[in-house]
Amino acid sequence: MHLEILTPEKKVFDGEVSVATFPGSEGSFQVLDHHAPMISLLKEGAVEYRGKEGLQNVKISGGVVEVLKNRVIVLATGLAS
């Protein structure tokens, strides 16, 4: 599936992944290939994903995620330190 992680300042990641885990507002959840369509709020935490380079993570300060037609778009409010 294709994952994009965006902040107001820049595109943090854009590529193919096999799995992604998100810090949902009601708890963490995982998305795999061909997941059902969904939209969720995200809280501060790490977005983890497995791509060509192995397991990676990006710490965000919150945002939203949309899953639709094997594309996952994260609109993060910013990067957490």
Q: In this predicted structure, what is the pLDDT of residue 81?
A: 78
Q: Domains (ranges, CATH) in the chain?
A: 2-74 (2.60.15.10)
> How are beta strands 45-51 and 19-24 bridged, if at all?
antiparallel
pLDDT tens digits in sequence order for the chain, 81 residues long: 999 999 999 999 999 999 999 999 999 999 999 999 999 999 999 999 999 999 999 999 999 999 999 999 999 999 997
CB 30 within 8 A of CB 21: yes
pTM for the structure as a whole = 0.94
